[in-house]
Amino acid sequence: MKFKKLLIAALALSPICAFAQKPNLLGLTHYTYNHALTAFLQTDSTVYSYSGSEAYPNYDQALTSDYSYALTGYYYASKINNTYDGSGNLLTSIKQICDTPSTWVNSTQDAYSYDASNNMILHVSMIWKSGAWAVTSREGSTYNGSNDQITDTLYYNGGKGYGPQSLVRSTYDGSHHLLSDSTYGYYGGTWYTSGRDIYTITSGKTSNWLHTIYNGKKSAWINYSQDAYTYDGGGNLASDIYQRADSTGATFTNVEERAFSYSGPLLMTSDTSTWTSGAWVASTHDSLSYDVNGDKIAQVNSYWSSSISKFVYSTNEENTFDPTTHVILSTTVSMWNFPGWAYYTSKGLGSQTLYYYGPLGVHDVANAGGSIKLSPVPAINYVNLNLTWDAPQTAIIAVYDMTGKLCSQWQTARGTNYSATVPTTNLRAGNYIIKVKGDNGTISQQFSVIH
């Protein structure tokens, strides 16, 4: 189902500089602030794996683990396995829940199909029930010759059985601007008219969105609500005024206004006001800031306090980025606790997310006649090491952090194969290098640890 709301490019702005190719997201870890310990404590981690030339968000698997302080380690919680076609379109996405440490149970599945132009024409949702997949919904779409979506039909398996649920028919102008959406419900074997959205296009942009509902008794369309949009000289959305109609649909009354300001393409402020007693009254104010590359490094949210007639800080989101690739490295959220920002207030706790990237598997040029394989990567509680030599020999295995500090080291017995499970709970989250020195040279491989 396509989105009907006008999208605001507030958090997904195009960068203003050209950067190096971004690496793949390999994992992320969520933390929640512990007031008693005055520290962020991990709550869960997700590890992403890929195949071929795939890149995020086209991952093959997302493995999520929850942290247990009773067990002092992570335990598997859920995983998502995805498949793709040759064009990179998502074909299947299966979610499984970890029932026991070694048993995965199917939970949900989404399956997709596409036409020759890579438009999604079918989306089937399923749940695992009584040892088999049971369809819960089926959504089918059709397109015109310009690849505009003209119908969207939803079938749903509800309490009364599987059957048609809703239908949306859309029209467009010659420039692919959406002009109307007509919505139909299904009852008693018949499609019936229920709603219609009409979009007004001015200078190539949506200036008004009118939502109407069908009154069967009067056999007439009745206005329900509308949004009026304005834009600045750069084509950015400047304001959105939402109004509701009275019972006759003839008179509109203001409800909410959103106003935005920019610096070039970058959103700087977002304000919300509500219509109260015939006047606009401030409600919220968001202020965003960026580094010289256009990466959003902070967003401060505030709310209007009528008792003191001023805005009061609410939350502060701070982001850090890699200086070369400009991928996000961390997100930290704090709350206002006068006279400053804090990670703990009576209203909630601060949070933090750390991100880890690849690619991994970088080997030394001087290969010593052997190979090593590490899994899982990134590692959470441990990493499995499998070493194979072309000829029998002993080896010294060492783990270093990225500063060159030796973290651990041991020696293997003579042979052509060696396997070990290396604990990583004593290592801080980050990147490491494992070096294997044999009789004729050294093999190295980089890996990441997340907690």
Residues 335 and 409 in one domain: no
Please report the pLDDT score of residue 1 as a whole number.
Answer: 38
Residues 352 and 374 in one domain: no
User: And the tokens for 224?
Assistant: 């329900």
Is 166 among the domain residues? no
Three-state secondary structure call for residue 340: strand
Residues 351 and 374 in one domain: no
Instruction: Indicate the number of domains in the chain.
Output: 2
> Could you tell me the pTM of the whole model?
0.78
Residues 349 and 377 in one domain: no
Is 179 among the domain residues? no
Is 394 among the domain residues? yes
231-to-40, 203, 288 alpha-carbon distances in Å:
42, 10, 19
Is 58 among the domain residues? yes
Check which CATH number belongs to the domain holding 342 and give it: 2.40.128
Please report the pLDDT score of residue 75 as a whole number.
Answer: 81
Residues 31 and 81 in one domain: yes
Residues 342 and 376 in one domain: no
Check which CATH number belongs to the domain holding 398 and give it: 2.60.40.2550
Residues 343 and 392 in one domain: no
Please report the pLDDT score of residue 47 as a whole number.
Answer: 82
Please report the pLDDT score of residue 57 as a whole number.
Answer: 83
Is 208 among the domain residues? no
Q: On the CB side of 371, how many CA atoms lie within 13 Å of its CA? A: 2
Is 284 among the domain residues? no
**Closest to 399 (Cα-Cα) out of 408, 390, 411, 410:** 408
Is 29 among the domain residues? yes
Residues 28 and 107 in one domain: yes
Is 178 among the domain residues? no
Please report the pLDDT score of residue 160 as a whole number.
Answer: 67
User: 298: which residues sit within 8 A by CB, 6+ positions away?
Assistant: 288, 289, 316, 317, 318, 319
| Percent of the chain scoring above 70 in pLDDT | 91
Give yes or no for a contact between 278 and 289, defined as CB atoms under 8 angstroms apart.
Answer: no
Give the residue ranges of the chain where pLDDT is below 50: 1-20, 359-367
Domain range enclosing 45: 20-114+291-359
**Other CB atoms within 10 Å distance of the CB of residue 46:** 21
Give yes or no for a contact between 381 and 360, defined as CB atoms under 8 angstroms apart.
Answer: no
CA distance 214 to 197: 11
Please report the pLDDT score of residue 53 as a whole number.
Answer: 66
Please report the pLDDT score of residue 9 as a whole number.
Answer: 27
At 148, the amino acid letter reads D
Please report the pLDDT score of residue 205 as a whole number.
Answer: 96
